Chains A and B, each alone.
Chain A
Amino acid sequence: MPTESSPFHLTIGSRFENIELVHAVLADALSAFDLDEESRHWIDLAVREAVANAIKHGNRLEPEKRVEIELEMEHEDLVVRVRDEGEGFDPGDLNDPLAPENRLRPNGRGIFYMKSFMDDIEYRFRPGEGTEVTLRKRLGGESESDRVGTDASGNPVDEKET
């Protein structure tokens, strides 16, 4: 069960090594929830992708630019928000990483990861204030992302083996 101390607000500089700091703080926070090791792993991966995107694509690897990470509970949802100081992007411009012509591309799977491992992701662009991505995991009842295997829109297509 979540505790009073489980939410956090963390600000980091835009360096990839700081992702391990986020991982450590997130792991500590998630230990307060009734989640199995596998669920914690997938949430950690989704948050890693959000933070890596914020550092690389949002803040363009400028170390003085900040990335903010917040975790909180909203009803029965675990919610993680990641904000950068970048200029935003159009999610509609992203290629489908499962399309045969994109399968061997080295890039372009970050948002797909997030959609696969969380129940919902949402982007918000604020002119002059950067981009915010909200990752949501439903902790009450069966979660859609308990099923690994999704199409490009994040819709599950296959049951995960247990």
Chain B
Amino acid sequence: MKINVRQREGVTILDLKGKITIGVGDVALRDAIHQALDAGAKHILINLDDVTTIDSSGVGELVSSYTTVTNRGSKLKLANLPPKVADILQITQLITVFDVYEDEEEAIAAF
């Protein structure tokens, strides 16, 4: 998985691309979240538009990201969920745990 980090209107946006899967993608996401928090990010948006596969470890890392960011007093939102990722968050009943938005603009406006 590749992660591109950018800033927009005070929000740190992580553009995830590829597979969030055990051993590689989950570790990359964890590192990116910690780096953003260490850099002082208060508002973090994960853009899932180009995610093709998310296994249970990837879902677990999203949950860890949410709890880590929240415990540090920052806020995390998700945007642009591909249908298969949305299905996964639905069946794991995590869709209501996360703040999920249709697109980047909507998510940024909601911080």
Binding site for B on A (CB under 8 A): 16-17, 19, 38, 41, 44-45, 48-49, 52, 56, 97-98, 103-107, 109-110, 112-113, 116, 148-150, 160
Contact = CB atoms under 8 A, between A and B. Distances in A.
A150 B87 CA distance: 12
A114 B75 CA distance: 32
Interface of B: 21-24, 53, 55-57, 59-61, 63-64, 66-67, 84, 87, 90-94, 97
A98 B87 contact: no
Nearest to B70: A104
A104 B97 contact: yes
> Quick one: which of B24, B56, B66 has the most chain A CB within 10 A?
B56
Nearest to A149: B91
B60 A106 contact: yes
A56 B97 CA distance: 27
Contacts of A98: 92-93
Contact of B22 (A19, A97, A150): A19
Contact of B92 (A16, A17, A112): A112
B94 to A, nearest CB: 7
Nearest to B86: A161
A62 to B, nearest CB: 15
A97 B89 CA distance: 12
A113 B56 contact: yes
Contacts of A109: 56, 59-60, 92
B47 to A, nearest CB: 21
Contact of A52 (B55, B64, B87, B91): B55
B22 A103 contact: no
A103 B55 contact: no
A16 to B, nearest CB: 3
A19 B57 CA distance: 13
B14 to A, nearest CB: 18
A112 B59 CA distance: 12
